[in-house]
């Protein structure tokens, strides 16, 4: 429905039972299938002037995130992301907004962090969603832009993470694509029936839930 929720919710849950590299693979394969449908459906609401300053830096951030996936402990990365996500999502849900006037310039840093996090932990949504929510983008533009960005970055990730794309991981990931497609059609029906304010609250709530889920998983694994 939102164009980014699958990775936010599935990522933390799957890491309880599966290895991090397999989780990234699953999110990549199912995400691309889902996001292609979302991006096509919202194609009339994607504006290059607003989307490109996010998408191009996101692509550049992917190699950095892929490197971190191999070199940095996932627990450190996910814990940091979780704390930031919780703080800012709560602030926005409570009505605190600080509109950024130089949106295009800020988009560069946000896009880069989103691409880095997509490749590094399979969860690139928090910086992008918090930024767009703060800026008050219309829900159609919001959804179309996020879907286009994640489709591009996820596609590139598939090539970069070739070293972890074993036969068994690829087979498991491919088998879950139909579930992602079914989810798109259900989410699309819901998207057409909700207001912009409800869409924003759902988006921020997903970030908040994902943040707490990541914290819980880190605590659970440290026991």
What is the separation of C-alpha 140 from the centre of its chain, rounded to a whole number of angstroms? 17
Residues 7-66 pLDDT 10s: 555 666 666 677 767 777 777 777 777 777 777 777 787 888 888 899 899 888 888 887
Contact 140, 178 (CB under 8 A): no
What would the two tokens of residue 125 be? 């949504």
d(CA 216, CA 201): 22
Query: What is the reported pLDDT for 222?
Result: 67
Q: Pick the residue with more confidence: 61 or 76?
A: 61
Span 117-143, average pLDDT = 78
Residue 127: enclosing H or E segment and its boundaries? helix 125-135
Residues 169-201 pLDDT 10s: 888 888 888 877 777 777 777 777 777 678 777
């Amino acid at each position: 429905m939102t164009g980014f929720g699958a990775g936010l919710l599935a990522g933390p849950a799957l890491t309880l039972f599966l290895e991090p590299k397999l989780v990234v693979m699953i999110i990549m394969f199912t995400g691309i299938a889902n996001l292609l449908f979302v991006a096509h459906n919202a194609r009339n609401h994607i504006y290059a002037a607003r989307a490109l300053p996010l998408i191009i830096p996101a692509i550049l951030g992917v190699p950095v995130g892929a490197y971190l996936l191999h070199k940095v402990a996932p627990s450190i990365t996910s814990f940091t992301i979780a704390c930031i996500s919780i703080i800012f999502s709560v602030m926005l849900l409570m009505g605190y907004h600080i509109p950024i006037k130089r949106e295009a310039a800020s988009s560069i840093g946000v896009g880069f962090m989103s691409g880095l996090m997509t490749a590094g932990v399979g969860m690139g949504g928090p910086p992008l969603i918090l930024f767009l929510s703060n800026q008050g983008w219309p829900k159609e533009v919001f959804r179309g832009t996020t879907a286009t960005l994640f489709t591009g970055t996820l596609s590139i990730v598939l090539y970069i993470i070739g070293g972890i794309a074993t036969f068994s991981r690829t087979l498991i990931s491919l088998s879950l694509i139909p579930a992602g497609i079914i989810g798109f059609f259900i989410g699309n029906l819901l998207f057409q029936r909700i207001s912009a304010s409800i869409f924003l609250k759902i988006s921020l709530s997903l970030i908040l839930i994902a943040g707490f889920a990541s914290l819980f998983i880190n605590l659970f694994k440290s026991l």
